[in-house]
């Protein structure tokens, strides 16, 4: 009985998620269909197709599949919103990807309004020097005064990923702030079938989300296999250096293979203790221990980084 009840709940959840998808974008997932073809813009205006590029496994695969004509129509642009605190490997991969996409006539645009690391340090220093509450926006793990645990409010995705991309799209369309957009923009999201819970509709009326990898029934391993078949390098994991959503596997990988990033994260973990505006004491690690004191299972043989990519939509 429990198994049947669980299956019904999962089916109901899938239906609810797929119910968020536009009627024009139905593909086979769990026996449910949508066509995968974006709607055309009304009023004779050209519809624009844009890739939200996180430069991780899924969005890299999606961009290159479009370049090879395996996903249509050909996107007008791919936009990468730079938080300013990605690992060096991501920036190196992004430079390669820009050149590779250009061979197929697809322009990768990098946009950045603010630097999440600099903003965080500014908030920390403002509090320590003036005693006034600074501004922070990462979902830190907290130990409250009564000993309970919680998380700080998450604002980083909207401020450093979603809004910069939307602003850049406005510029590409030739609109000024607050002008009503008449074109129809289809924004491609790099979400695969194994993370369908991240599928959500756009909050902007002029933007319609599309999930090409779900249309192709591809999971993350399928993406890696496609990249390998084409002779492309495996993309690095895309997420901010000090993201509180990292699991032990990613922290360990950083500690072993990216000393500079690890040291940055450890120093930031110490520095955020000065953020007194928070209701509790903040930590980057979910155990609410100092990052450099956390046991990360260093003796494990393999490191599973499967669920630790931002791709521009962390927590969205």
Higher pLDDT residue, 313 or 113? 113
Residue 298's pLDDT is what?
79
Q: End-to-end distance of the chain based on CA atoms, in angstroms? A: 34
Helix residue ranges, H only, the chain:
2-19, 57-67, 88-102, 116-130, 156-157, 163-173, 212-215, 220-229, 248-257, 259-271
Q: What is the mean pLDDT of residues 176-203?
A: 94
Strand order in the sheet with 48-53: 107-111, 77-81, 48-53, 185-189, 207-210
Describe the strand order of the beta sheet including 149-151 as a list of residue ranges. Answer: 149-151, 141-144, 280-283
* Token pair in block for residue 277: 């505006």
pLDDT at 186: 97
User: What does the pLDDT read at residue 137?
Assistant: 75
Determine the pLDDT at residue 134: 62
Least confident of 41-45, 179-183, 231-235, 285-289: 41-45
Q: Is the pLDDT of residue 182 over 60?
A: yes
pTM of the predicted model as reported, rounded to 2 decimal places: 0.83
- CA gap 127, 275 in Å, rounded: 7
CB 292 within 8 Å of CB 267: no
For the segment 42-58, the average pLDDT, to the nearest whole number, is 83
More confident residue, 39 or 141: 141
Q: Cα–Cα distance between 271 and 290 in angstroms, integer?
A: 11
Distance CA 71, CA 226 (A): 13
Q: Work out the pLDDT band at 199, boundaries 50, 70, 90.
A: very high
pLDDT value, residue 132: 64
Please state the rounded mean pLDDT for residues 271-278. Answer: 88
DSSP state at residue 50: E
CA pair distance 200, 203, nearest whole angstrom: 9
% of the chain at pLDDT higher than 70: 77
Q: pLDDT band for position 33 (50/70/90)?
A: very low
- Whether the pLDDT of residue 166 is over 70: the answer is yes
Q: Output the pLDDT for position 133.
A: 59
What is the pLDDT, as a whole number, of residue 136?
62
140-154, 240-254, 301-315: which range is least confident on average?
301-315
pLDDT at residue number 151: 94
Residues 142, 288: contact at Cβ < 8 Å?
Answer: yes
Give the residue-averaged pLDDT of 3-28. 46
Distance CA 138, CA 104 (A): 37
pLDDT in tens, 60-79: 999 999 999 999 999 999 99
Q: What is the mean pLDDT of residues 261-282?
A: 93
């Amino acid at each position: 009985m429990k198994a049947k009840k669980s299956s019904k709940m999962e089916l109901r959840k899938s239906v609810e998620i797929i119910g968020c998808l536009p009627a024009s974008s139905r593909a086979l997932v769990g026996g449910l269909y949508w066509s995968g073809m974006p709607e055309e813009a009304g009023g004779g205006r050209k519809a624009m197709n844009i890739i939200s590029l996180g430069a991780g496994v899924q969005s890299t695969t999606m961009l290159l599949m479009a370049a090879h004509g395996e996903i249509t129509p050909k996107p007008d642009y791919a936009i990468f919103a730079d938080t300013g605190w990605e690992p060096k490997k991501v920036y190196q991969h992004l430079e390669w990807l820009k050149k590779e996409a250009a061979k197929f006539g697809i322009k990768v645009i990098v946009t950045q309004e603010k630097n999440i690391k600099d903003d965080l340090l500014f908030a920390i220093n403002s509090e320590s020097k003036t005693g006034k509450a600074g501004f922070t926006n990462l979902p830190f793990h907290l130990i409250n005064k009564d000993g309970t645990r919680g998380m700080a409010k998450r604002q980083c995705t909207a401020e450093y990923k979603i809004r910069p991309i939307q602003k850049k799209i406005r510029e590409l369309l030739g609109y000024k702030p607050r002008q009503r957009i008449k074109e129809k923009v289809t924004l491609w999201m790099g979400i695969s079938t194994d993370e369908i819970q991240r599928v959500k509709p756009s909050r902007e009326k002029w933007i319609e989300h599309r999930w090409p990898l779900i249309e192709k029934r591809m999971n993350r391993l399928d993406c890696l296999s496609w990249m390998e078949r084409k002779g492309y390098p495996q993309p690095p994991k895309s997420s901010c250096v000090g993201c509180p959503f990292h699991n032990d596997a990613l922290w360990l990988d950083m500690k072993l293979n990216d000393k500079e990033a690890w040291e940055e994260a450890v120093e930031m973990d110490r520095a955020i203790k000065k953020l007194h505006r928070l209701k509790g004491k903040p930590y980057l690690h979910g155990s609410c221990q100092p990052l450099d004191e956390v046991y990360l299972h260093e003796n494990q043989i393999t490191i599973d980084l499967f669920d630790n990519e931002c791709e521009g939509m962390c927590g969205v």
